[in-house]
């Protein structure tokens, strides 16, 4: 069994930092998904794809994987590409850039 350990990125609809401080262990698929010919649904007999384990720290997740003999790879979290600004920053009196409105 192989798994990956990572911090999920926040969704596009989130403005806060919910669920971005905990580490997630997800198992890699061990077999390809199959399409049901009658209904067209996609499915698999691999039950490990449904398991998602949350941990407070990366060390806890790695320790769990080592203890249970899971070959896990750690993906370090990426830093946000841009600095988030509030709407009021557009109207700040000490603004240095050009006004676009």
Tell me: the pLDDT tens digits for 2-32? 999 999 887 777 677 777 789 999 999 888 8
Higher pLDDT, 79 or 45: 45
Separation of alpha carbons 17 and 14, rounded Å: 7
Q: Do the domain assignments include residue 53?
A: yes
Q: Do the domain assignments include residue 58?
A: yes
The token pair at 63 is: 């320790």
Q: What is the count of structural domains for the chain? A: 1
Separation of alpha carbons 83 and 97, rounded Å: 15
Q: Do the domain assignments include residue 64?
A: yes
Residue range 50-76, pLDDT digits in tens: 899 999 999 999 999 999 999 999 999
Segments forming the whole domain that contains residue 57: 1-6+48-78
Q: Which of 72, 93, 81, 78 is nearest to 4 (CA)?
A: 72
Overall pTM surpassing 0.85 (yes/no):
no
Q: Do the domain assignments include residue 40?
A: no
Q: Do the domain assignments include residue 57?
A: yes
Q: How many CB atoms lie within 10 A of CB 7?
A: 16
3-state secondary structure of 29: coil
Cβ distance 55 to 22 under 8 Å?
yes
Q: Do the domain assignments include residue 73?
A: yes
What's the CA angle centered on 78, arms 72 and 82, to 5 degrees?
170
Q: Do the domain assignments include residue 29?
A: no
Instruction: Please check the confidence at residue 46 and state whether its pLDDT lies above 90.
Output: no
Q: pLDDT category, 98, cuts 50, 70, 90?
A: low
Report CA 100 to chain centroid distance, whole Å.
35
């Amino acid at each position: 069994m192989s798994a990956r350990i990572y911090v999920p990125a926040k969704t596009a609809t989130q403005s806060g930092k919910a669920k971005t401080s905990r580490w997630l262990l997800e198992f890699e698929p061990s077999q390809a998904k199959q399409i049901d010919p009658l209904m067209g649904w996609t499915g698999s007999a691999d039950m490990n794809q449904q398991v998602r384990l949350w941990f407070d720290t990366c060390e806890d997740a790695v320790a769990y994987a080592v203890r249970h003999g899971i070959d896990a790879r750690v993906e370090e979290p990426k830093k946000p590409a841009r600095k988030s600004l509030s709407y009021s920053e557009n109207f700040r009196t000490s603004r240095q850039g050009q006004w676009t409105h």
